[in-house]
Amino acid sequence: MKHDLSKKGFATRQIHAGHIEVPGINPLATPIFQTSTFVFENAAQGAARFAKKEKGYIYTRLGNPNQDQVGAKVAALENAEAGIVLSSGMGAISTCFWTILESGDHVVANDTLYGATYSFLTKAFPRYGGEATFTDLTNLENLKSSLRSNTKLVFFETPANPNLNVIDIEAVAETVHAFDKNIKVVVDNTFCTPYIQRPLDLGADVVVHSGTKYLNGHGDVISGMICGKADFIEKCRSFGLSFVTGASLSPFDSFLISRGLKTLDIRMEKHCSNAIAIAEFLEGHEKVNKVYYPGLPDFPGREIVKKQMKLPGAMISFELNASKAKSEAFINSLELCALAVSLGDTETLIQHPASMTHNSYSKQALSEAGITESMIRLSIGLETVDDLIEDLKDGLEKI
């Protein structure tokens, strides 16, 4: 039985949205449709599906019930018309971008982005006749001066990775659409998830995620999502995914994400409560020079945080009053905080952005993005917060 979930609460939607019915069986847990292809009843049906005159499954690269369930769940949580799941966050971004962009097009992007996204716009896109302008989108004047007649896409993360700068989604969307309503405003909502922030409600056109992170939440799947208007998502499926990237997620991985999504709100509450306590601890420690965290009272852009984010998130960056060698020794000495890239897992993760996730940035680009050599990034997990603080405290005492 299908449920009308449009007016139900977040937790209800994360559990029930995208329900798959199997006639005559009706299992509570969604089965895994581990198949590469689907059998047609006859040749006419196969032809009709390829011609898009009949809905139905053809081949798992083009669609699968497990994939569709995840896409529907995330779309319901983002208040989007439709969603599609991909095989990685970069699969989602590249599928989205190649669906929008052509040779000769121009992109405006925030100057602080995930390293692989930055590389896409600086290394891949220019090879096919495109150009990107990077600017600080926390200042709307920068945005206004960067827009051109051939601008087709404005892209940013908020909070940004890894300096946690927050960008006013509503103000950016209004500015861009006043210049040209056809420019797509695309927001990477990975750090927040739809539980904390919903960019489409604030005027953005498209939301992308690395589903590897909080949406799955257990560090065992690589995935990505795109959410937006139904016609755009269909273009992403029929062109960007089918003909360009082929970044199709497996049915089993789709099943794992759907399972992880059922506890998203509970996990995000715990992630954030842990992060608030740890940020306050770090800010009060004499060996910590600076803490970047949207939940701190003196955080730049705090009013924007209050306006568009339900919680301050669980990502923290900070700098130590120590040399690079001693900062490395601090990271190496930790026992509970795992030295690994990625984020949003049950485990707390720590890494050095300048030499790891953002090593594709030049020294000048790092400086312009506010990513210092001494910056350390924490993804706060679900452990007992006192144990995490004790681990950090022990590490700081060894400096």
Q: Indicate if 57 belongs to the active site.
A: no
DSSP, collapsed to helix, strand or coil, labels residue 76 as helix
Return the pLDDT at 324. 79
Q: With bands split at pLDDT 50, 70 and 90, how would you rate the model's confidence at 285?
A: very high
Catalytic residue among 68, 111, 188, 345: 188
Q: Indicate if 386 belongs to the active site.
A: no
How far apart (Å, rounded) are the C-alpha atoms in residues 340 and 333? 14
Residue 370 has pLDDT above 90, yes or no: no
Mean pLDDT score, 275-288: 97
Residue appearing with tokens 């700098």: 319
Minimum mean pLDDT range among 16-30, 52-66, 110-124: 16-30
CB 338 within 8 A of CB 348: yes
Return the pLDDT at 362. 82
Q: With bands split at pLDDT 50, 70 and 90, how would you rate the model's confidence at 170?
A: very high
% of the chain at pLDDT higher than 70: 99
% of the chain at pLDDT higher than 90: 85
Mean pLDDT score, 336-351: 94
Q: With bands split at pLDDT 50, 70 and 90, how would you rate the model's confidence at 2?
A: low
Q: Indicate if 267 belongs to the active site.
A: no
Catalytic residue among 8, 61, 262, 290: 61
Mean pLDDT score, 213-227: 97
How far apart (Å, rounded) are the C-alpha atoms in residues 109 and 115? 13
CB 184 within 8 A of CB 219: no
How far apart (Å, rounded) are the C-alpha atoms in residues 332 and 350? 10
Return the pLDDT at 1. 47
Catalytic residue among 13, 68, 114, 270: 114
Question: Which domains, and CATH codes, for the chain?
Answer: 10-261 (3.40.640.10), 264-397 (3.90.1150.10)
What are 292-333's pLDDT values in tens digits? Answer: 999 999 999 999 999 999 999 999 999 998 887 888 889 999
How far apart (Å, rounded) are the C-alpha atoms in residues 322 and 187? 35
The pLDDT mean for the chain works out to: 94
- 224-228 and 206-209 strand pairing: antiparallel
Catalytic residue among 73, 152, 198, 213: 213
Return the pLDDT at 327. 85
β-pair partners for 84: 226
Q: Indicate if 326 belongs to the active site.
A: no
CB 252 within 8 A of CB 246: no
Q: What is the pTM of this model?
A: 0.94
Structure tokens at 208: 């992308």
